[in-house]
């Protein structure tokens, strides 16, 4: 009952005030609006009213709560946000409509970059700013979505990395067997604010919205207790950043389309497919120059290259000579490293507990990389994981007598059990022995909840 009362109170707090600009416009009636010769332009200038509309705010709050995330600089958690809005939203809304809302700095957090010793710098806004950014995103996204390229796939509704990989695969199958693979150097940290805002202003005329986006870009980040100014870049971690990155790179998409190229872009990773090495070299040089002069962005030469698609990775995948999707070698190395960490033989955990920790990672990995077209790789990984688990169990059984007793109890012939228990070889080699396969069959791991990476095709 208390939860229902709190929900009703929150919804009442999010209702637009009768003194607001949107309400005053509504009271003028349809005849008054008919006198306006450009109602579409007028609506574009009222985007902030759409941002603050109750249904939009309810959707934004639900999204922020579902995304969870850690607190920002003010320490407020996602669970505390509804109570805070219930008390303070009318004042916040008034500042937003007046164009006077000032965001707080983002909290700097560094995370590991896959396959790199560098750190990815994230800027985590406070939950209130995440809520306002999400409400802003929900209004802006329908405006900009029609302006984006069909070859752009990142951070867009109804589009995925798998679709981007499939499009690249289709180009290769058509004979475009050379790729100019361009990676932008620290793109999210180096976006020019003036260039970005000029692109936003082409489709947004509400100065309050433009001013708020600019203030989010310039809010700064808290590093080691001190606020650092952000004179360039779009902090990764906020809901608006992905949309702004696509707005910024639409110029690149249109330039590639103007030249008639076949390309796929996913965020700052852009692959252009052509039929010869010479053509790919020309594309790489000219697009590098275009990015530097038009958008003030720099190509990361160490990560960019001209090559045949099978020699490069794209979103964790590569391609065979027959243009089939395969898992990139770098992704396989990262996978095995993570499995080794989760199945470390000296961790002292029971097998069931190890599998319980392992299962979510395997399901998530399979959900993405199961898109490959090389099932033998997935089968081999399944076998490798089970071997890791058998060697872990063998290590935990420790001594010969216990090993012998466990093998016999699990149905192994006494002679074979004695021979295996007295084997001088290490756990990794013994894990492939017939005795271990009898004692710990594949079905046993299934009963403990171990997911398989390979899903056999159904008849």
Q: Output the CA–CA distances (angstroms, integers) from residue 7 to 11, 14, 82, 90, in the order listed.
A: 6, 11, 8, 16
Q: Can you say whether the dihedral through the CA atoms of 285, 290, 292, 298 is positive or negative?
A: negative
Query: If you average pLDDT over residues 19-40, what whole number do you get?
Result: 42
Residues with Cβ < 8 Å from 36, sequence gap 6 or more? 42
Lowest mean pLDDT among 166-170, 262-266, 398-402: 398-402
For 49-98, how does the pLDDT look when each residue is reduced to its tens digit (9 = 90+)?
999 999 999 999 999 999 888 888 889 999 999 999 999 999 999 999 99
Residues with Cβ < 8 Å from 167, sequence gap 6 or more? 151, 153, 264
Predicted confidence at residue 2, as pLDDT, reads: 53
pLDDT band at 119 (very low <50, low <70, confident <90, very high): confident
For 293-335, how does the pLDDT look when each residue is reduced to its tens digit (9 = 90+)?
999 999 999 999 999 999 999 999 999 999 999 999 999 999 9
Predicted confidence at residue 431, as pLDDT, reads: 95
In terms of average pLDDT, the best of 102-116, 339-353, 361-375 is 361-375
In terms of average pLDDT, the best of 222-236, 345-359, 405-419 is 405-419
Predicted confidence at residue 19, as pLDDT, reads: 40
Mean pLDDT, the chain, whole residue set: 88
Predicted confidence at residue 5, as pLDDT, reads: 52
Predicted confidence at residue 108, as pLDDT, reads: 82
Q: The tokens of 205 are what? A: 């005329």
Using CA atoms, how far apart are residues 33 and 25, in angstroms rounded to an integer? 9
Predicted confidence at residue 456, as pLDDT, reads: 56
pLDDT band at 11 (very low <50, low <70, confident <90, very high): low
For 257-294, how does the pLDDT look when each residue is reduced to its tens digit (9 = 90+)?
999 999 999 999 999 999 999 999 999 999 999 999 99
DSSP labels, 254-282: HHHHHTT-EEEEETTEEEEEESSHHHHHH
Residues 354, 342 contacting (CB under 8 angstroms): yes
Please give the torsion angle defined by the CA atoms of residues 360, 361, 362 and 365, in that order, rounded to the nearest 10 degrees. 120
- pLDDT at residue 392 above 50? yes
Q: Give all strands of the β-sheet with 305-307 in edge-to-edge order.
A: 262-266, 269-274, 178-183, 305-307
Lowest mean pLDDT among 11-15, 207-211, 397-401: 11-15
Higher-confidence position of 364 and 190: 364
pLDDT band at 10 (very low <50, low <70, confident <90, very high): low
Higher-confidence position of 45 and 25: 45
Q: How many percent of the chain have pLDDT more than 70?
A: 88
For 217-251, how does the pLDDT look when each residue is reduced to its tens digit (9 = 90+)?
998 888 777 777 777 888 788 899 999 999 999 99
């Amino acid at each position: 009952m208390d939860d229902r009362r709190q929900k009703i109170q929150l919804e009442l707090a999010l209702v637009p005030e009768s003194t607001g600009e949107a309400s005053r416009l509504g009271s003028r009636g349809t005849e008054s609006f008919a006198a306006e010769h450009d109602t579409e332009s007028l609506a574009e200038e009222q985007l902030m009213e759409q941002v603050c509309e109750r249904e939009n705010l309810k959707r934004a709050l639900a999204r922020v709560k579902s995304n969870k995330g850690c607190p920002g600089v003010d320490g407020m958690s996602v669970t505390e946000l509804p109570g805070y809005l219930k008390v303070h939203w009318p004042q916040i809304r008034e500042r937003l409509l007046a164009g006077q809302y000032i965001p707080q700095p983002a909290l700097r957090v560094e995370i590991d970059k896959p396959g790199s010793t560098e750190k990815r710098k994230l800027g985590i806004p406070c939950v209130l700013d995440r809520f306002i950014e999400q409400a802003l995103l929900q209004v802006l996204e329908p405006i900009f979505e029609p302006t984006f390229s069909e070859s752009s796939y990142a951070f867009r509704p109804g589009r995925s990395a798998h679709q981007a990989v499939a499009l690249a695969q289709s180009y290769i199958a058509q004979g475009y067997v050379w790729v100019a693979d361009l990676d932008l150097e620290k793109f999210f940290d180096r976006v020019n604010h003036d260039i970005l805002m000029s692109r936003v202003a082409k489709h947004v005329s509400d100065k309050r919205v433009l001013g708020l986006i600019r203030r989010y870009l310039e809010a700064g980040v808290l590093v080691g207790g001190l606020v650092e100014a952000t004179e360039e870049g779009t902090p990764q971690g906020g809901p608006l950043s992905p949309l702004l990155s696509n707005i910024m790179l639409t110029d690149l998409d249109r330039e590639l389309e103007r030249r008639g190229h076949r390309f796929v872009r996913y965020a700052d990773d852009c692959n252009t497919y052509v039929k010869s090495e010479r053509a790919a070299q020309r594309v790489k040089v000219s697009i590098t120059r275009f990015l530097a002069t038009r958008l003030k962005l720099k190509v990361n030469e160490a990560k960019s290259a001209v090559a045949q698609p099978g020699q490069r990775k794209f979103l964790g995948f590569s391609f065979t000579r027959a243009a089939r999707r395969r898992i990139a070698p770098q992704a396989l190395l990262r996978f095995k490293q993570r499995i080794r960490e989760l199945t470390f033989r000296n961790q002292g955990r029971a097998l069931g507990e190890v599998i319980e920790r392992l299962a979510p990672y395997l399901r998530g990995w399979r959900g993405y990389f199961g898109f490959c077209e090389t099932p033998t790789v997935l089968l081999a990984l399944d076998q490798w994981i089970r071997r890791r688990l058998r060697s872990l169990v063998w290590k935990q059984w420790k001594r010969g007598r216990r090993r012998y007793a466990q093998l016999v109890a699990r149905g192994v012939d006494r002679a074979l059990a004695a021979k295996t228990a007295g084997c001088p070889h290490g756990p990794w080699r013994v894990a492939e022995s017939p005795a271990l396969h009898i004692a710990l069959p594949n079905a046993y791991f299934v009963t403990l909840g171990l997911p398989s990476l390979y899903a056999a095709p159904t008849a």
